[in-house]
Structures are given as C-alpha cells and as structure tokens.
C-alpha cells in the first residue's frame, strides 16, 4: 500500500499550483532573530516606522499575533527581471534624457496584493488538507511580523549581510508573505549562512546604511528616505541619492547570490510575473516627466502599484534631488516651476537642485543635452 502524501507536501503542491515560487514551514516559537527587533528599535534604526515600534511584543513573539500559533508558513514570489527595454535605458550612453531609478519590485501591480491573493487561497485550503479546523492569520508586509525572519525559520534561505533573505536557488529578489496557524507542521531544515567573507553589499551602499553586517539602519537607507520619509530628505543624504527616485536595489544588485540567480526561472503559468513587471512608464522614467507630473497623471500611472506609497509630492521631491545630482542643466526650467510653486517642501528641494546645477555650471561639469 502506497504511503499517503505528507500534509506538508500537499500544502507545497497546492502553493506551487497557485503560482508561488517558494514555500517552507517553521516553528512559531520566538528566536534570537525575532527578539532582536527590540534591540534594533531601541538603537533608533527604525526612525519613524511607528508601525514597527508600536507592536514590538508581537514581532518578538508571533504567538502574541495568533495565540496558540505553532507553525509559520513562509511563501516567496520571485520579482521579475528588468525588461530588455529597461536594461537598454540603463546602459544607454550620453546624450539622452536624464532618468530616475525605480526599485525592481515597484512599477507593476503591487506585490502586496498579488502575493496576498496566493496566500489567502493557501490559507483557505488548509482545513481540507489538514482535515480539521485551523486558526490562521496571514500577512504580506502589513502586520506585526518580520517576514524575512519567518522565512529564515521556515528554511527558505538565510538572512544576508544586507539584511535580506537570500534563497540559495532564487537569490534575494523574493517578495515574502506568511501564514501563522495553530496546527503543528513538520519544520523544514534551515539554511546556513553562505555570505562568508563577502562584503560587496556593505561597500556599495552609498549612504553607509549598515551599522554592521546584517544590521540595517533604516534611517540612512534610500528606500526609507525616498519612500517612508514624508518631509525633507536630509541634506547629507541628497548628494548620495544619485538617480534613485523610488527605493534602491544596490545591495542586492552586487550580491554574488543574485548575479547567477535564478539558475532557471520557475514556471509562471498564471502570469504573476507579468502582472508584477514594471509598466513602461516606470522603466527608468525621465526626470522631465516626473517633475511635471500632475495629480491625475500620477494617479493613473501609479494605479495599483507600490509607487502610490511615496505619493505624488514625495515622488517629485525625489526627482528634484535626482535632478540636482544629474548635472543636466536642461532640467532647470522644470526645477524652477517648483522653486516658484506653492508647495514649501518641493520649493526647498528645488532650490537645492538648482544650486547643485549652478555649482556644476560654474565648474564646467554640467550636461547640456
């Protein structure tokens, strides 16, 4: 008589049919990794991320999120690779319009929504597969759960020196979500740290946002300053921002575990990566376009994308900083629109951008397309 398929394998098969690229099972017990969130917050590395600081007890012990929780199911969905068009724009040589850099995960359908659809479907199927009622809670970067710590506990990979979860076959460009449940499932074997002596991610960071290997000071990270910061970007950060207008991928781009990953792209029969792929307007958008965005254009272009989180004003603020760093004097008219405008936040960043370009002009270092 053929042995029955273990329930963990049944759940894994259902998840793969739903289009996820990785799934693992771990204990919901607290670990040193989950407990570290308190130390991290107390050091001030969370800045204004009050949604973290307000629920530290739950982040440190997932059983406070779901009383009686025994298992965390971690799910990963691979971020699409840059399109040939985007790669071409990025490698293009002067002359040409100055462009902004948008993080790889953004600019397509919001991964929170795409991945949560998959997770909710898995969650709904659990009672039938477990053959009993089960209590669950699920999150995709929206609750008091540190997804990368849960994914590490569930054997999806290790947390690298860049503080990202690195899957040994897929790399770190994984969007993560979790399901907490009160059923006890067999945990997967955890993956050991393979970073070794490499420090490429630490050295490439323009703002030196890593307080030490494996520990990110979010307040210095360009993903924080271009997305989470709602007021002024600190002047000491602006010149280091370069062309980034939404997020930053540098610490992942240089990682050796991403250069050759994935070795083979997983099948995508449901077209999830097509949904996640950047829309054309977000493939290195021109700074001229960003600086002249009106509210209607922004809302249309950012519809159902993660870029909505920055807001129109935040995105223009970021574009002004990128313009100041571009050396492109042809952007001065668009900069002037905001320097003379009614928004004091944009006016201040516009003045900064103009001063940078005028300084380059005096030194003969500007671009004149």
Active site residues: 141
Q: Is the peptide bond before 95 cis (omega within 30 degrees of 0)?
A: yes
For strand 165-166 and strand 71-78, is the pairing parallel, antiparallel, or unpaired?
A: unpaired
Q: Which two tokens stand for residue 343?
A: 């928004």
Nearest to 105 by CA among 145, 141, 52, 143: 141
**Which region holds residue 199: left if phi is over 0, alpha if psi is between -120 and 50, else beta?**
alpha
Q: Which two tokens stand for residue 263?
A: 């070795």
Query: Distance between CA 17 and CA 353 in Å, rounded?
Result: 50
The per-residue b/e assignment along 163-196, b for 16 or more CB within 10 angstroms, e otherwise, is bbbbbeebbbbbbbbbbbbbbebebbeebeeebe
Q: Which two tokens stand for residue 218?
A: 């979010």
Nearest to 27 by CA among 192, 186, 193, 191: 186
Q: Residue 197 burial (CB < 10 Å; 0-12/13-18/19+)?
A: exposed
Cα distance between the two ends of the chain: 75
265: helix, strand or coil = coil
Query: Distance between CA 207 and CA 236 in Å, rounded?
Result: 9
With beta carbons less than 8 A apart as the criterion, state whether 235 and 352 touch. Answer: yes
Query: Distance between CA 280 and CA 45 in Å, rounded?
Result: 35
DSSP secondary structure of 122-169: HHHHHHHHHTS---EEEESSSSS--HHHHHHHTTS-EE-TTS-EEBTT
Angle between helices 344-363 and 311-326 (to 10 degrees): 10
């Amino acid at each position: 008589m053929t042995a029955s398929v273990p329930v963990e394998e049944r759940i894994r098969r259902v998840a793969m049919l739903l289009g996820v690229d990785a799934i693992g099972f771990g204990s919901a017990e607290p670990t040193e990794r989950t407990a570290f969130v308190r130390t991290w917050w107390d050091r001030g590395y969370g800045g204004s991320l009050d949604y973290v600081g307000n629920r530290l007890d739950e982040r440190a012990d997932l059983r406070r999120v779901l009383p009686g929780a025994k298992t965390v199911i971690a799910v990963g969905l691979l971020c699409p690779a840059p399109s040939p068009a985007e790669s071409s724009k990025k490698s293009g040589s002067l002359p040409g319009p100055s462009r902004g850099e948008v993080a790889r995960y953004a600019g397509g359908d919001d991964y929170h929504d795409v991945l949560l659809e998959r997770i909710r479907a898995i969650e709904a199927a659990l009672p039938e597969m477990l053959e009993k009622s089960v209590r669950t809670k699920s999150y995709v970067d929206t609750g008091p759960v540190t997804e990368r710590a849960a994914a590490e506990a569930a054997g999806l990979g290790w947390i690298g020196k860049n503080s990202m979860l690195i899957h040994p076959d897929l790399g770190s460009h994984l969007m993560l979500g979790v399901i907490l449940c009160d059923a006890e499932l067999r945990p997967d074997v955890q993956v050991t740290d393979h970073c070794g002596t490499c420090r490429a991610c630490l050295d490439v960071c323009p703002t030196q946002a890593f307080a030490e290997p494996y520990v990110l000071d979010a307040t210095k990270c360009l993903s924080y300053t271009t997305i989470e910061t709602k007021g002024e970007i600190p002047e000491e950060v602006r010149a280091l921002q370069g062309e980034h207008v939404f997020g930053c991928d540098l610490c992942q781009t240089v990682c050796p575990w991403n250069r050759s990953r994935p070795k083979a792209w997983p099948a995508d029969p449901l077209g999830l990566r097509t949904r996640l792929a950047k829309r054309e307007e977000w493939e290195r958008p021109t700074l001229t376009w960003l600086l002249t965005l009106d509210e209607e254009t922004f809302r249309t272009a950012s519809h159902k994308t993660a870029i909505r989180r920055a807001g129109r004003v935040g995105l223009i603020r970021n574009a002004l900083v990128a313009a100041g760093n571009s050396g492109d004097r042809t952007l001065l008219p668009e900069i002037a629109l905001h320097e003379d405008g009614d928004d004091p936040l944009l006016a201040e960043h516009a003045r900064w951008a103009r001063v940078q370009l005028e300084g380059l002009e005096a030194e003969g270092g500007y671009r004149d397309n």
